[in-house]
Each structure stands twice: as structure tokens, then as C-alpha cells.
Amino acid sequence: MRNPPTALFALLGSPVAGNPTGAMIEAACRSVGLDEGRYVSIDVADEGLAGAVSALRTLGVTGFHVTIPHKVAVRTHVDRLTSAAEATGAVNCVKREASELVGDNTDGRGFVASLEPVVALRGARVLVLGAGGAARAVAVESALAGAASILVANRSPARAAELVELVHRAGTESTAVPWAIPLAIPAGTDIVVNATSVGMLDADDAVAVEWSGAEPGVAADVVIRPSTRFLEDAAGAGWTPVDGLGMLIEQAAAGFRWWTGREPHRDVMRAALADALG
Ligand code: NDP
């Protein structure tokens, strides 16, 4: 490639149709004067992942995102992992540094940044619902941000136990809470996070929570929708809702800053996201 574009970015995942990240990143590029920044979303099957990463390396990509189902598998196709990627066991963002591809995980930092204007994580007692990729990023990064304790409730107890162990390794108190429907919130919980995928495919679907059993605090949802039934139910019981769009914007902003060294304009990214989500 003799004349690579100023900045080439990509998304590898499956499915990628409808993923709004490209719209946000191209808008961020324009907002900082990187007018030639281009972002392509590529649908890659499991068996095509190694070839796709190799092709992006050859094309001189500036950086790329990785989404479901490749966040774990891609670790073996990059040259180096950041401490966040090591701690969570998943990569959502890759940067080319000279001849190396470096894998990071910005999901958790995006979550922490999205909560900052609403509530302090330092000293907070957090209940995380779920133990998949998003839950791991949320739990580990909340622990690193100074949460006092992280309770984990997950449908599959074995995965909950793994996440509890991961949080312990980050130096924070953590316990698994039995999965029950409806889920009772332990007294003293400050922040409840839906980090399951329930609500992603059907906006009316929600993990059933017995909200009235605890003093209201903050309820956050990672699901990428401006509103979910989980948040509506929480708000109805007096909890302060925080949607997953802020996390999406902040994780993309963290990757953009890492890739380009520039601070993107959040309002421009938010407008592009709203447009893309219709
Ligand atoms: P995973 O497949 O890794 O994990 C899914 C989790 O949801 C597991 O804990 C799983 O439990 C649980 N789950 C799924 N179905 C049910 C159900 N019917 N009842 C109870 N629990 C269920 O997915 P991810 O963690 O990668 O993604 C989760 C969500 O986070 C998605 O909606 C994704 O779009 C969103 N996300 C949002 C981001 C943002 O920036 N806002 C960033 C990254 C992800 P079990 O272990 O028992 O199967």
C-alpha cells in the first residue's frame, strides 16, 4: 500500500449490520479534522478471523474494534495485550503500533466514564447481573475504580464464580449471589448493573428484579438502547437510570483517543449514534 488513507479503522464481528460504531468514529474523525478517516464494518465468521486480522495488518489499519463473537478469540491473533485486556480476558479494541497489533479492552473504562457524572464508584457496593464479556469488563473496571464490593448474579453459577475470582484478583471483595427470579437486591447495594444481554433483542424483555426491597440507588444497563424495561422498572421504583449509550460512546471515545491521540467531541458522537439508531 503506497498511499494508505490518513486513518483506516474497522470493525470485525458477526453480525455487524446495524452496528452504530462506524457512524460515531467517522463523525469523531471529522470533528477533529481527520477528514480522510474511514471505518469499515466487516462480517467475519469464526474461521475467517485469523485471515481478517492478517489482512488488516497488511492494509496498514490504524486500529480496529472487535465485537461478538470474536472478543476472546482475537487475543491469540494480536502481538500484545494491555493490562485491561489481560484482566478481563477479552479484547474489543486493537491498535497498530509500528509492526505490532496491541489488544485493549475499553468496555469497562467506558462504563466507568459513563457513570462518573451520576455516581461515584469509589466506595460503592455494586451488584452486577451477568458474567459474560460485558459483565467482566464492568466488574473488573469498577473494582479498579475503587468500588467497595462487587456482587455477581448470573444464570450459570460456574461463570459467576469465575467472575468473582477475577474481581478478587483485582483486589476487591466479591461474592456470588444466587440467581433467582425475581432477583432480590441485597440491602446496602448502591449500584445495580444489568450486564446480561437480556433486553438486547427484545426491548420489552428484562431480568425481573424486586426493586422495592432496597433503598433506591443507581440502575445502569449495558444494553445499547436509549431505554429498556429494566431501566423503566428501576426508575418506577425510584432508582436513577443510566442507559448503555453513554458506555458505548465512552468506550469508543477511549479507543479513538488511543488510536489518534485526539480527544473526540462527545456531542458529535452522540448525534451520530442517535442518527444511526434511528
Ligand atoms: P455474552 O454472551 O458474553 O454474555 C451474555 C450474558 O447474559 C451472560 O451472563 C448470560 O448468562 C446472560 N444471559 C443471556 N441470556 C439470558 C437470559 N435469558 N436470562 C438470564 N441471563 C441471560 O454477551 P456480552 O457480555 O458480550 O454482551 C452483553 C450485552 O452487553 C449485549 O447486549 C451487548 O450488546 C452489550 N454491550 C454493550 C456495550 C456498551 O458499550 N454499551 C459494550 C459491550 C457489550 P449465562 O452465563 O448464564 O449464559
- What is the CA(271)–ligand 1 centre distance, in A? 26
pLDDT at 6: 77
95 catalytic residue (yes or no): no
Backbone angles phi, psi at 263, to 5 degrees: -90, 115
In the sheet that 7-13 helps form, which strands lie side by side, from edge to edge?
A: 37-43, 7-13, 63-66, 93-97, 100-104, 80-81
Amino acid at 122: R
Pocket test for ligand 1, best of 11, 68, 196, 243 (most atoms within 8 A of CB): 196
- Separation of CA 192 from chain center: 16
CA atoms in the 13 A half-sphere facing the CB of 188: 7
Amino acid at 171: G
126 lines ligand 1 (CB under 6 A): no
248 lines ligand 1 (CB under 6 A): yes
Backbone angles phi, psi at 28, to 5 degrees: -65, -40
Given the residues 65, 70, 71, 109, select the one marked as catalytic: 71
Reported as a single tens digit per residue, the pLDDT across 129-165 is 999 989 999 999 999 999 999 999 999 999 999 999 9
- Parts of the chain with a pLDDT under 70: 1-5
- Please state whether 268 falls in left (phi above 0), alpha (psi between -120 and 50) or beta: alpha
pLDDT at 3: 53
130 pairs with which residues across the strands? none
pLDDT at 50: 98
Backbone angles phi, psi at 113, to 5 degrees: -65, -35
191, containing H or E segment: strand 191-194
237 burial class (0-12, 13-18, 19+ CB within 10 angstroms)?
middle
Query: Which residue puts its alpha carbon closest to atom 6 of ligand 1?
Result: 196
Considering the entire predicted model, what is its pTM? Answer: 0.94
pLDDT at 4: 52
Number of H helices, E strands in the chain: 9, 14
Q: Which of 57, 24, 60, 17 is nearest to 39 (CA)?
A: 24
pLDDT at 36: 87
Rounded distance between C-alpha atoms, residue 199 and residue 96, angstroms: 34
Q: Which of 34, 27, 4 is nearest to 96 (CA)?
A: 4
